[in-house]
Amino acid sequence: MFVLVNLKTYPCDPIEVAEAVSDVDDRTDARLAVAPQAAHLERVAETGVETWAQHVDPIDHGSNTGHTLAESVADAGADGTLINHSEQRLKLADVDGSVRAAERAGLETVVCANNPAQIGAAAALGPDAVAVEPPELIGTGTPVSQADPDVVEDAVDAASSVNSAVSVLCGAGISTGDDIVAAGDLGAEGVLLASGVAKADDPAAALEDLVEPL
């Protein structure tokens, strides 16, 4: 399973979380990665943890003040990027442009979507993976894999009917190892999670619990 920890803009110490993820990664068969804010990418990548951006824009080098360029993210040490997270939604054409920009920069891509229908559209754009996250469950601690299992299974079906090479992740409310196991049982190859680690009093202990059953 791929476990991608999104730090959003939570007031956690990104280096502390990155070091915890890196440490736990050395002791599990799961693949772990962390997605800090863009300004923290370089310092997080220097810890040796697999590092992801939270977003890249559908742009090339040039006159794009305030945008996030895929090449800059890659230069900072990112291995991949989220695109179209529920908190950073894009138009379909811009999702496509961001996937192309990430590919150009050699970044792995996960395109997020709210529901199985959007997952089908996202898979058609040919990212490495898609992630279904029902917005109403994000940050609630109520796991999608248990509260709404159909949405995960339908997302897996939607992606495979469009492009069987695209992996499916799920996210929202996942905070325990059992939630991740349930996601895998539904056909997901990984999970996105945030508050369960980024808002934990002890992120290292939260991560240990998360990967324990894997």
Query: Is 85 a catalytic site residue?
Result: yes
Cβ burial of 187 (10 Å; 0-12, 13-18, 19+) is middle
133 lies in the binding site for ligand G3P (CB under 6 A): yes
Closest to ligand G3P by CB, 159 or 183: 183
Q: Which stretch binds ligand G3P (CB under 6 A): 44-52, 62-70, 119-127, 193-201?
A: 193-201
174 lies in the binding site for ligand G3P (CB under 6 A): yes
Closest to ligand G3P by CB, 77 or 196: 196
Residues from 78 through 107 that contact ligand G3P (CB under 6 A): 85
What are the angstrom distances between the C-alpha of 132 and each of 2, 69, 87?
A: 14, 25, 13
| Residue with token string 């929202």 | 172
Query: Is 153 a catalytic site residue?
Result: no
* Cα R_g (the chain), whole angstroms: 16
**Beta strand ranges found along 7-145 (DSSP E):** 31-35, 50-53, 80-83, 108-113, 129-132
Interface residue with ligand G3P among 14, 195, 210, 211 (CB under 6 A) is 195
Joined together, the tokens standing for residue 191 give 């999970």
Between CA 103 and CA 109 the distance in angstroms is 8
Q: Which stretch binds ligand G3P (CB under 6 A): 25-33, 71-79, 149-157, 169-177?
A: 169-177
73 lies in the binding site for ligand G3P (CB under 6 A): no
Closest to ligand G3P by CB, 89 or 104: 89
Closest to ligand G3P by CB, 105 or 174: 174
Interface residue with ligand G3P among 172, 188, 206, 210 (CB under 6 A) is 172
Interface residue with ligand G3P among 18, 32, 186, 193 (CB under 6 A) is 193
Closest to ligand G3P by CB, 53 or 75: 53
Between CA 68 and CA 212 the distance in angstroms is 35
Q: With H, G, I as helix, E, B as strand and everything else as coil, classify residue 172.
A: coil
126 φψ region: left (φ > 0), alpha (ψ -120 to 50), beta (else): left
Residue nearest to ligand G3P (CB): 195
Asked if residue 181 lies in contact with residue 142, where contact means CB atoms within 8 angstroms, the answer is: no
Residues forming contacts to ligand G3P in the complex (CB under 6 A) are: 6, 85, 133, 138-139, 171-174, 192-196
